[in-house]
Homo-oligomer: A and B are copies of this chain.
Amino acid sequence: MSEPPIFLSLCLQAIMVLFACRVAGWIAERFGQPSVVGMMIAGVLLGPSLLGAIWPVEQAWLFPKSSRDVLKFLAELGVGGYLFCVGLDFDLAQVRQRSRLTLAVAAAGVLVPFCLAIPLALATQNSPDWFKVGATLSQQVLFLGAALSVTAFPMLVWIVRSKGLANSPMGTVAISAGAIGDAFAWVILAVVVASFSGEPNVIIRCLVGGALIIALARYLVPRLLAGLSAECDRRQALTPAAMGAVAAIFAAFVALSTWCGMHAVFGGFLCGLALPRGELTLGLRRIEPGIAMWLLPFFFAFSGLQTRIDLLISPSALGLLALVLLVSLLGKGGACWIAARWAGLPAAEAGGVASLMNARGLMELILLNVGLQAGLVGNVLFSVLVVMAVVTTLLAGPLFEWTYGRQARKAGELGKL
């Protein structure tokens, strides 16, 4: 079969990707799972793991190399835009409340995985399937630690909100601890990627760019947009000028975070966080369903194209998978549960927090893609960690129900699951 022109090829991809993700999301919801779980799996199935294994010629025809640039662009725009929406919704004030409990859970959810990453890195050290040649032990430990400790932050927020727990102690702690832990994991990731790329000016660029982007978000953007935001409030609507300005600022943040070696998602999240609250942010929130339904599927497809489940069918890979699953469940979920109990949360609520903190979701896929694009992670470890992300995300719903949901529903605290 001759390859179709790029535009046509992208349309066909869009049909497949949108359809597969929507159906998979619907199936996931039928089973009481968040739709993101189904979409993650759909992306993997469209890649070499299933479609490419059964129909290699057709899969290569549908996803030709020439269309990868555009697909990658859509994928990055999708996650960048989604994290922008998460940033829009994010309330920094919540992080400041309940600081002892939050810090205990966040610290446990980060420190234990990083400690457990040391033996894991020692076990995976001598194979290019796991880490590419040139990665030092400390880079491997830090990358694995970040991969083990990351939280499906947007999904966590979504679950907490949809169950009406946003203002409960459990909800606040889970959201704040998830945010702190994720911020830490992302900073570590940025340092690892910058140091792995070797050139000293990359590290400088990462530090200078990171400082610059935070300064812009903190000081410049609120001032730049104050007038436009006030005009939106006055007119009770998003003005064209505000829409244009926000889009240009979003592109600038994404460009800056990409330039300094981090990922577009940082820029997107910080941009959303930086916008002055009011009619402007209320209006922009309405784009979230469009981004989640129409752009994010391309991210799942792009991630799935990099994932090769077939590589896992070897004793060493399966052994590694079992080890990673065990470490990730006990190291993150277990540590969070103990910390929450220690800081005084009742057992059921501690279990709820731990099961939410344990889901890796989308964030793990983003982090893994950063590691893969930097040339740090090998194919097998990438695929192992993708499966870990899917499994921990699949477990979040049932674990939450088992530890917290049943009791809470009996006590009348929780309306419906």
Contact = CB atoms under 8 A, between A and B. Distances in A.
Interface of A: 4-8, 10-12, 14-15, 18-19, 21-22, 25-26, 35, 66, 69-70, 72-73, 76, 238, 240-241, 243-245, 247-248, 251-252, 254-255, 258-259, 264, 286-287, 289-290, 293-294
Contacts of A243: 289-290, 293-294
Q: Considering the complex of A and B, which 7 residue pairs feature the smallest CB-CB distances, nearest first?
A: A22-B244, A11-B255, A14-B251, A243-B293, A18-B248, A15-B251, A19-B248
Given A22-B248, A66-B69, A287-B290, 15 more contacts: A4-B259, A6-B69, A8-B258, A11-B254, A12-B251, A12-B255, A14-B248, A15-B248, A15-B251, A15-B252, A18-B248, A22-B244, A243-B289, A243-B294, A244-B293
Contacts of A69: 6, 66, 69-70
Contacts of A293: 240, 243-244, 247
A365 B293 CA distance: 30
Instruction: Work out how many copies of this chain go into the complex.
Output: 2
B7 A264 contact: yes
A10 B77 CA distance: 11
A69 B66 CA distance: 9
Instruction: Pick the most buried of A7, A19, A21, A76: most chain B CB atoms within 10 A of its CB.
Output: A7
Contacts of A35: 240
A258 B73 contact: no
Contacts of A18: 244, 247-248, 251
Given A11-B255, A251-B15, A22 B240 contact: yes
A238 to B, nearest CB: 7
Contacts of A290: 243, 287, 290
